[in-house]
Amino acid sequence: MEDEKEQLILMTKIGVGSLVVAGIFILIILVAHNFTKKRSGEIVLPAGGTYLGPSPTEAPWRQIQGTIYPFTFSVPETLALTTFPNDPYDIYALSENPSANVLIGVEDLAKDLSKKPYVAKSKKEYISDFWWKQFGLTGVSTIESFTNEKGLKGYKVKFKNSPYEDVFFEIKGKPNIVIHMSNAIISPEIFEKIVESVGWREK
C-alpha cells in the first residue's frame, strides 16, 4: 500500500514536471515567433554575410570641365574616364572600351560645311534631319525636349536602330554648339544624374 502511494506521488511529480517543461518550451516558441515577426526580411549570403539592401551612403561625385569647351558635368568618383589625344570634340569616354563608350562630346557646327546650315536652324531639326545619317542609323524614333537642373535645354532621343539612349544640349547664345551624350553601359539612374549635372561656363 505504501509502495502504491509512493508511485502515485512520483507519477504526480513527473506529470507536473512535464507540464512545467512543456510550458517553458511553448513560452520560448511564442517569444521567438514574436521577435522574428518584428524583424525585417534579410537575405543570408554564403560565409555568414547578410544583405540588408543598398548602402544608405552614396559614393562621392567629382566635377569635370572640358579642356577645349567650357562645359562641366559630374560623375561618381568610381567611374573611370579617358580622353583622346588631339581630339577636336573634347570627348570624355569610359575607360572600359573608350571608342565604343563615348559619354560626352561637343560639336561646333560652324566648323563643318555639311553642318553649317544647321547653325541658323533649330537643334531639334539638326538631330531629326541630319545627325543620325552620319552613323548609319535609320532615323529618329522619339525625341523629347527637357531642361536640366543647370538650365540647359536638351533633347532625349531614341534612334530607330540603336539600343542606346542619346541626349543633346543646345547652348543659349551659341547656336553653333551642340553637346552630345550617349549611354552604353552606365545604369540609367546614374546616367540621368550625369545628364542633370551638365552645365556651361564661359571662360
Q: Could you give the 3-state DSSP secondary structure of residue 149?
A: coil
Question: Do 30 and 94 belong to one domain?
Answer: no
What is residue 6's predicted lDDT score, i.e. its pLDDT?
Answer: 56
Residue 26 lies in a domain: yes
Question: Do 39 and 71 belong to one domain?
Answer: no
Question: Do 32 and 113 belong to one domain?
Answer: no
Domain that holds residue 21: 2-51
Question: Do 70 and 44 belong to one domain?
Answer: no
Estimate to the nearest angstrom the gap between the alpha carbon of 117 and the chain centroid: 37
Residue written as cell 517553458? Answer: 24
Give pLDDT tens digits for 23-45: 554 444 444 444 444 443 333 33
Question: Do 109 and 85 belong to one domain?
Answer: yes
Question: How many DSSP H helices and E strands does the chain contain?
Answer: 3, 12
Question: Do 159 and 177 belong to one domain?
Answer: yes
CA dist 6 and 1 (Å) reads 9
Q: Evaluate if pTM is beyond 0.85.
A: no
Give pLDDT tens digits for 73-119: 999 999 999 999 999 999 999 998 887 889 999 999 999 999 999 99
Residue 129 lies in a domain: yes
